[in-house]
Amino acid sequence: MNKCECDFCKENIAIYREHDEITCNLLKKSIIKSKYRNKLLTHFECKPLFSYFIGAFWLNDKKNEEEHYTKSVIIKPKIENIDFMRMFSKCFEYSTIIKDFDKIYNIGFDEEPINHKDNKLMPDLDILIAFHFLRMLEVELHNGLKKNFIRREENMKSKIKGKIQFSKHINKNIIKGREDKIYCSYLDYDINCLENRILKRALKICLSKIQNIKNSLYFYCISFFNEVSDELSYSEINHIKINPLYKRYKLLIELAIKIIKLKRYKDYCNENEAPPFWIDMSLLFEKYVYALMLDNIESKNILYQKQYMHGNFKPDFIIKGKYNYIADTKYKEIYNNNFDKSDINQLSGYARINNIIKEFSEDTQNYIPECLIIYPSNNENDNIIDIDKKEEIKGLVRFYKLGIKLPEK
């Protein structure tokens, strides 16, 4: 394939912005052959574009291992100075949002590091994981620390507990004439289990990431771990099996392991290198809007991601009470002065579903729900959810749009 004069063709690495048009054929082909095709590539009006995932990606050809780790792209946000931490922090205020926040981002520890050059995203990612972990841990600690079985060994005096370790018993007792001792191993149900040791190690790493930002949250969490050691081997992390009784612990442990691995990963990398990662900006915007809604609308009046018709239809929000809207977030700048007809078709479809109409009225034959599209606004005053500020979408009936200004540094 003929190469063009773009940075990607010259250096096999280039920096773009989300939703930029992809004009390089070699770049497009490399994306299609990689495992990130669905995250990086979209189309609008038949033009190939980067989607709304930002981060750093290896474009490894799934069928050609010889070319692995030779081509990469870094995708930056459209908004140059977007303040991720204010968006994340707003989301973290609500436990209902935190529980599935892991779907918003991922870090590829199983891949080689990428040279991030002057990319400013990586420090934010460090803080994001720390905040995510601390907030989830705080919620879980309301129920106290979990215990688990730990295998202990002890030279017991005149009694047997668990199983006798015969080889050690012979070496430590029989040979030395200690007939009053029996060397045993037994299971002890204790707080100093591997799961909690992993949590404590990650917690102590977090302190360096969030200095003077969330210290009170750190000290609240660490107070539960006074009787827990942070001694930990890397092999223990790689072979941990989460107790199925502690399903809520699973995501928390996974986050803690990410924090530990990220520190280890960066300790062995050059200053400008870091693992591949991605952030789903469209989903982050959706969660951010949800948090802003909860600031201003009672949670009982918001149905979030409720499924209809066997899960085939799932509007972002059904808003009831004072306001009655089918609402969807669209992370698209086009709504500042236009609209995307595919989004209109989507919401129009929701407004014709019998059970969705019943959320507002029993008169399913005559009631026409109002539809609201929430989008990133350029207006500095659009920093809260104020549905009274909605605007009609010209040419459409009962269709409105509401802009939300994303925070900037």
Please write the tens of the pLDDT for every residue from 117-129: 655 666 677 888 8
| Residue 123, pLDDT score | 67
Q: Is the pLDDT of residue 178 over 70?
A: yes
C-alpha 316/C-alpha 290 separation (Å) is 9
More confident position, 12 or 356 = 356
- Residue 67's pLDDT band (cuts 50, 70, 90): confident
DSSP one-letter string for 241-259: ---TT-HHHHHHHHHHHHH
CA–CA dist 179, 182 (Å, integer): 8
Which of 276, 249, 251, 250 is closest to 262 using CA atoms?
A: 276
Task: Please list, in sequence order, all residues whose beta carbon lies within 8 angstroms of the beta carbon of residue 58, skipping any fewer than 6 positions away.
Answer: 34, 68, 69, 71, 72, 108, 111, 112, 114, 276
Confidence of residue 24 (pLDDT cuts 50, 70, 90): very high
Which uninterrupted H or E stretch holds 326? strand 325-329
Section 36-61 average pLDDT = 92
Neighbouring C-beta atoms of residue 262, cutoff 10 Å:
23
Q: Is the pLDDT of residue 148 over 60?
A: yes
Residue 266 pLDDT? 78
Q: Please say if the pLDDT value at position 53 is more than 90.
A: yes
Cα 212–271–132 angle (5° rounding)?
Answer: 40
Q: Which three-class secondary structure state does DSSP give residue 159? A: coil
Q: Judging by DSSP bridges, how do beta strands 370-377 and 399-405 pair with one another?
A: parallel
pLDDT of the residue at 120? 64
Please calculate the CA angle 119-82-96 and round it to the nearest 5 degrees.
110
15 - beta bridge partners?
74
Average pLDDT in the 221-247 region?
86
The confidence score (pLDDT) of residue 118 equals 58
The rounded mean pLDDT for the chain is 89
Integer Cα distance of 145 and 140 in angstroms: 8
- In the prediction, which pLDDT does 213 show? 58
Please state whether beta strands 370-377 and 325-329 pair in parallel, antiparallel, or not at all (unpaired).
Answer: parallel
Residue range 195-209, pLDDT digits in tens: 999 999 999 998 877
Confidence band, pLDDT 50/70/90 cuts, at residue 327: very high
Are 122 and 262 within 8 A, CB to CB? no
Residue range 234-262: mean pLDDT, rounded = 84
Residue 133 in this model has a pLDDT that exceeds 70: yes
- What percent of the chain is modeled with pLDDT above 70? 97
For residue 361, name the pLDDT band (cuts at 50, 70, 90).
very high
Expressed in percent and rounded to 5, the helix, strand and coil fractions of the chain are 40, 20, 40
Most confident of 73-82, 211-220, 340-349: 340-349
Average pLDDT of 89-109? 86
What pLDDT is stored for residue 159 in this prediction? 87
**Per-residue confidence at 371, pLDDT binned at 50, 70, 90?**
very high
**Who contacts 391 (Cβ-Cβ below 8 Å, separation ≥6)?**
400, 401, 402
Measured in whole angstroms, how far is the alpha carbon of residue 135 from the centre of its chain?
13
